[in-house]
């Protein structure tokens, strides 16, 4: 089986469509989203509707929870908070209900998927040091995909040692555990503005992919929607 693992779309329709275009020509059997479908960008309803119409299994992310009213964006920075409340006012009731019913974590065909970290959906795994304790929470699985940081990376645990890799291909080996972040479709933060995702082949390989998209259109839509200018500008630098 070949899976496309996507995360953190953040209402960026241009990036999402471009990624789906690549996925559709990559012999993928199943698309899985790790959450944060909405928040930050200008097209929340359109992005939720694509997830629904294509039957993409998705988790709920912290921005989805705030946008559908399950939580208040109290801990968000001002631009993120404004975007969450704007998204809440834009989303149809039907799309809010859809988001509310998404699971917080899941196990798919033997691997685990979470938004932030296996121990806590809101935790950021930003380093091998952050990743190390998370390997104890994999529920007897040896592979987990996570998002939330918007930075693509693979952490592995082998012989008690955790290491990180940003190689394009991560080989999945027996006896080693993996925590893999596909990066963000709609708001990459690793100084590469291209949309990021992973193709995981269960014969033993996870491949990081980057996709160019119409950043300028997404940027302009954010500014024209009255969202914080910074949310548009950061797309152009991928940070
Ligand atoms: Zn996010």
Q: What is the mean pLDDT of residues 33-37?
A: 98
pLDDT, one tens digit per residue, over 146-158 is 999 999 999 999 9
> Distance, CA 149 to ligand 1 centroid (Å)?
7
> Distance, CA 174 to ligand 1 centroid (Å)?
31
> Distance, CA 26 to ligand 1 centroid (Å)?
25
Q: Where are the domains of the chain?
A: 2-236
> Distance, CA 187 to ligand 1 centroid (Å)?
8
Looking at the whole model, is its pTM more than 0.95? yes
The overall average pLDDT reported for the chain is 97
Binned at pLDDT 50, 70 and 90, residue 139 comes out as confident
Beta-strand pair 111-114/143-145: parallel
Q: Is 8 left (phi over 0), alpha (psi -120 to 50) or beta?
A: left
**Region 2-236: CATH code:** 3.60.21.10
Binned at pLDDT 50, 70 and 90, residue 137 comes out as very high
The pLDDT of residue 140 is above 90: no
In terms of Cα–Cα distance, which of 186, 179, 184, 215 is closest to 197? 184
Q: What is the mean pLDDT of residues 179-183?
A: 98
> Distance, CA 8 to ligand 1 centroid (Å)?
5
> Distance, CA 150 to ligand 1 centroid (Å)?
6
> Distance, CA 173 to ligand 1 centroid (Å)?
29
Q: What is the mean pLDDT of residues 9-25?
A: 98
pLDDT, one tens digit per residue, over 89-99 is 999 999 999 99
Q: Residue 128: what are its φ and ψ, rounded to 5°? A: -60, -35
Q: What is the mean pLDDT of residues 9-27?
A: 98
- Are the C-beta atoms of 162 and 128 separated by less than 8 Å? yes
């Amino acid at each position: 089986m070949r899976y496309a693992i996507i995360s953190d779309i953040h209402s960026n329709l241009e990036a999402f469509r471009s990624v789906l275009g690549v996925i559709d020509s990559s012999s993928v059997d199943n698309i899985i989203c790790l959450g944060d479908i909405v928040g930050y960008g200008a097209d929340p309803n359109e992005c939720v509707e694509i997830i629904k119409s294509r039957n993409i299994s998705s988790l709920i992310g912290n921005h989805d929870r705030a946008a559908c009213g399950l939580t208040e964006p109290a801990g968000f920075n001002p631009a993120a908070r404004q975007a969450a409340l704007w998204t809440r006012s834009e989303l149809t009731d039907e799309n809010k209900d859809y988001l509310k019913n998404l699971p917080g974590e899941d196990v798919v065909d033997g691997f685990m998927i979470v938004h932030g970290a296996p121990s806590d959906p809101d935790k950021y795994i930003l380093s091998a040091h952050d990743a190390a304790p998370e390997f104890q929470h994999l529920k007897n699985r040896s592979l987990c995909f996570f998002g939330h940081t918007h930075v693509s990376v693979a952490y592995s645990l082998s012989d008690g040692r955790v290491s990180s890799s940003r190689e394009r291909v991560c080989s999945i080996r027996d006896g080693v555990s993996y925590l893999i972040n596909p990066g963000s479709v709609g708001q990459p933060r690793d100084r590469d503005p291209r949309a990021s995702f992973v193709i995981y082949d269960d014969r033993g390989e996870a491949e990081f992919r980057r996709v160019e998209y119409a950043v300028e259109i997404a940027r302009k839509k954010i500014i024209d929607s009255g969202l914080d200018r910074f949310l548009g500008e950061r797309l152009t630098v991928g940070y």
